[in-house]
Amino acid sequence: MQLLFRLFFFLLILSSSGCQIYNHDLEPLTISSEAQEQQQLYNLFKRGMRYRELSKLQQEAECIRLKQDYKTQAYWDTAWLLAYPLNDDFNCVNLDEMLELLNVIQTVPDSNHHLRWLNNNQIDLLTNLDKLQKKSNSLRKQLKTAQKRLKKANSKIKALRAIETSINKKLADEQTNQQ
């Protein structure tokens, strides 16, 4: 059985590499733009995974460093790293800053078209989230206002009950005095 396996392996190697013709006149192979984009994505995701593996304290330090780098040289890949792997729960950049970073990435012509598609969806999602947060804040303010009004109304009701109790007591006292 081992001999058969070795023979099969040998024939596989021979058939796949032994029959190729090498032509010196052909131009050297160039990496297609699609392959370059794939490599770019791979490197970006690999770098992002390294940031994700850092401790929270190290992530905060990297966030600060990348923000400073982005201020000096606004590279789209730095913006991507700030917006995605270092930004759990918006702890690196806030929602408005993230939307700004993603919009910058959308305008860069040499950024990967897959990333632009992802960013476009993320921008839509974050825009909806921003609207929902604003609506939530508005509702929260309305709720606080209603709670304040309710407290005032309750205090007025208590005051009225105290007045009613004192009036009822006086009336009861007057009725006992008249009898």
Burial 163-178 (b: 16+ CB within 10 A, else e): eeeeeeeeeeeeeeee
What's the confidence (pLDDT) of residue 32?
60
Domain containing 100 equals: 35-145
Q: Which helix (H) or strand (E) holds 27?
A: none
The closest of 79, 106, 107 to 93, measured between CA atoms, is 79
Asked if residue 68 belongs to a domain, the reply is yes
Asked if residue 173 belongs to a domain, the reply is no
CB contact set of 47 (below 8 Å; sequence gap of 6+): 81, 85
| Average pLDDT score over the chain | 80
Q: Which residue would you say has higher pLDDT here, 178 or 134?
A: 134
4-18: average pLDDT: 48
CA distance 96 to 146: 29
Domain count, the chain: 1
| pLDDT at residue 45 is higher than 50 | yes
Asked if residue 166 belongs to a domain, the reply is no
What's the confidence (pLDDT) of residue 10?
46
Asked if residue 85 belongs to a domain, the reply is yes
Contacts 24+ apart (CB under 8 A), 158-165: none
What's the confidence (pLDDT) of residue 27?
44
The band of 130, judged by pLDDT with boundaries at 50, 70 and 90, is very high
Backbone angles phi, psi at 93, to 5 degrees: -130, 150
The closest of 121, 128, 125 to 105, measured between CA atoms, is 121
Q: Which residue would you say has higher pLDDT here, 19 or 60?
A: 60
| pLDDT at residue 132 is higher than 50 | yes
Asked if residue 21 belongs to a domain, the reply is no
Q: Is 106 in contact with 119 (CB distance < 8 Å)?
A: yes
pTM above 0.75, yes or no: no
Lowest mean pLDDT of 10-14, 97-101, 116-120, 144-148, name the range.
10-14
Asked if residue 157 belongs to a domain, the reply is no
Asked if residue 60 belongs to a domain, the reply is yes
Asked if residue 104 belongs to a domain, the reply is yes
| pLDDT at residue 57 is higher than 50 | yes
What's the confidence (pLDDT) of residue 6?
55
Instruction: Record the tokens describing residue 93, joined without a space.
Output: 């950049």
CB contact set of 31 (below 8 Å; sequence gap of 6+): 39
| pLDDT at residue 139 is higher than 70 | yes
Q: Quick one: angle between helices 113-178 and 95-107, nearest 10?
A: 160
Q: Is 79 in contact with 104 (CB distance < 8 Å)?
A: yes
